Amino acid sequence: MAAANDRLGSSFVKILKDTHSSYGGYDYTFVDGDPPDNYICLICTLVSRDPHQVSCCFNIYCKSCLDKHRKKNSMNGTFSCPACRKLLDSKSYFKDGRLEREIKALKVQCTIEECDWKGAISDIKAHVMACPYRMVDCSLGCGEKICYKEVEAHLSDCPKRIVSCQYCKDEGPHDFITSSAHLDECSSYPVKCSNEGCEFTQERFWFTHHEQNCPKAIVYCEYSNLGCDKLIKREEQEKHNEESMKEHLQMAIKRVDTLQTKCAGMKCAGCSSSQVLKMNNSSSYKYGGYKMMLCVYANGHGKGKGTHVSCYTALVPGEYDDELGWPFEGEVTVELLNQEEDENHKKLIIKYDDSTPEDCKERVTKTMSQRWGKAQFIAHSDPGFQDFTYGFLGPWYFRVSARVTSKTKPWLV
């Protein structure tokens, strides 16, 4: 009984043994002191679980303890009783239902030290599963163990909780969405121009256009191909041209003299209504004086998000806008070129007509108009997307052509 007392009186924290295993007796702290000796299994020396009585000496054992003893010591189907050593077989012991009811009515303490719950053995399994002090693994997979009563608070602040990016609205684990791994690639993250003196801030996706036109950017002189090696701010280009007109003219004359003999026999190619763009980022192009930008989302946009390549065009400020008719009317044909053969190109026709929203075709004076095109241009499931026929690993080649029907101002013609 002393060995049983040592075990029954232990106070260290443990998860219920009967929650994880059906072998052995009940190892609890009993509220009313040590149970009677006749409740104790003589094999495991704990209070019997599923108590069975042997027919020889009428002692009590846990059924699992007795089964294990019989399996280990059986010869020709018989084994000796652990207490009186008489021979027994599988029919020599039976369940003591009355004793089991008495044992399951014994009051015990929760096996978790911080918890002050007390109740019957028959209820402790259900209690432990809902015990507010039970340690559980985070269901979101962050790797932490949390006290059961603090699960809700943890889940609301878990680094693996699913959140939406405040910029692009993509969803993902909090620790990823708020990290540089996402924010450095987020297409809608606001980026400030790095050029000294420029306060422009815009979404990353549209920032490429600004970089190409920032007035504070340091650029080569427009006449660098003639030999002018000055680096100036883009906004000072016109002033520089006026101040350096004489020098530029002398450079041009010198260049013409050099090229005169080289130009013999050359013919000027006729202007085409289309052009091919090698595209890694947004590309701009001009047609009939109108200036436009081609915008492509590899992973889709809007209804095409995550399933399609999306393709749009947008108007941007151009140098001839004062002479052009507005709103812009016509149609733009975009073809993603098959890089393996000169056929089976992916074609999209974007029409600018009465059905086009006004903010997509009116003249713009700042950044760009609203996009106009197709959110579901090419499905990711398209065979060409799978076997890289169209260069989906980049760069992409787009052939863009336009038919302009807008009328210029007649008094300027």
Q: Are residues 240 and 278 in the same domain?
A: no
Residues 241 and 340 in one domain: no
Q: How confident is the model at residue 7 (pLDDT cuts 50, 70, 90)?
A: very low
Q: Based on the fold, state whether residues 344 and 403 are members of the same structural domain.
A: yes
pLDDT per position as a tens digit, 138-170: 988 888 888 888 888 999 999 999 999 998 889
Q: Own/partner pairs for 279-286, CB < 8 Å, 24+ apart?
A: 279/395, 279/396, 279/397, 279/398, 280/394, 280/395, 280/396, 281/208, 282/205, 282/206, 282/208, 282/209, 283/398, 284/209, 284/212, 284/316, 285/400, 286/318
Q: 93 forms bridges with which residues in the sheet?
A: 54
Q: What is the pLDDT of residue 265?
A: 29
Boundary-marking domain end, from 110, 130, 150: 130
What percentage of the chain carries pLDDT values higher than 70?
82
If asked whether residues 293 and 393 sit together in one domain, one would say yes
Q: What is the pLDDT of residue 26?
A: 92
Output the pTM of the full model. 0.38
Give me the mean pLDDT over the 256-283 stretch. Answer: 45
* Residue 137, in any domain of the structure: no
d(CA 27, CA 41): 12
What CATH code is carried by the domain that includes residue 11? Answer: 3.30.40.10
* Side-chain-side CA neighbours of residue 95 (13 Å): 6
Q: What is the pLDDT of residue 52?
A: 93
Do residues 378 and 323 both lie within one domain?
yes
Whether residue 230 sits in one domain with residue 125: no
Give the pLDDT of residue 175.
92
Is residue 267 a part of any domain in this protein?
Answer: no
Supply the pLDDT for residue 380. Answer: 81
Residue 171 lies in a domain: no
| Over residues 328-355, mean pLDDT | 89
Question: Would 243 be classed as within a structural domain?
Answer: yes
Same domain, 92 and 41: yes
And the tokens for 198? 């420029």
75 and 38 within one domain: yes
Q: Beta partners for 285?
A: 292
Q: In degrees, to the nearest 5, what angle opens at C-alpha 257 toward C-alphas 253 and 262?
A: 135
What pLDDT band is residue 387 in, cutting at 50, 70 and 90? low
Same domain, 11 and 119: yes
* Distance separating alpha carbons of residues 327 and 359, to the nearest angstrom: 9
Could you read off the pLDDT of 12-65 as tens digits, one per residue? Answer: 233 334 443 456 899 999 999 999 999 999 999 999 999 999 999 999 999 999
Overall number of domains in the chain: 3
How far apart CA 106 and CA 36 sit, in angstroms, is 11
Domain that holds residue 76: 2-130
Does 131 or 206 have the greater pLDDT score?
A: 131
329 and 368 fall within a common domain:
yes
pLDDT band at 287 (very low <50, low <70, confident <90, very high): low
Question: Given a cut of 70, is residue 410 above it in pLDDT?
Answer: no
Phi, psi of 61, rounded to the nearest 5 degrees: -135, 155
Domain boundary among 130, 160, 190: 130
Q: What does the pLDDT look like over 169-183, one tens digit per residue?
A: 899 999 999 999 998
What are 262-272's pLDDT values in tens digits? Answer: 333 222 222 23
Please report the pLDDT score of residue 408 as a whole number: 61
Comparing C-alpha atoms, which of 54, 65, 141 is closest to residue 89? Answer: 54
CA pair distance 116, 111, nearest whole angstrom: 9
Q: What is the mean pLDDT of residues 89-114?
A: 90
Q: Indicate whether 408 belongs to any domain.
A: yes
CA atoms of 95 and 101, how far apart (whole Å): 11
pLDDT at 194 over 90: no
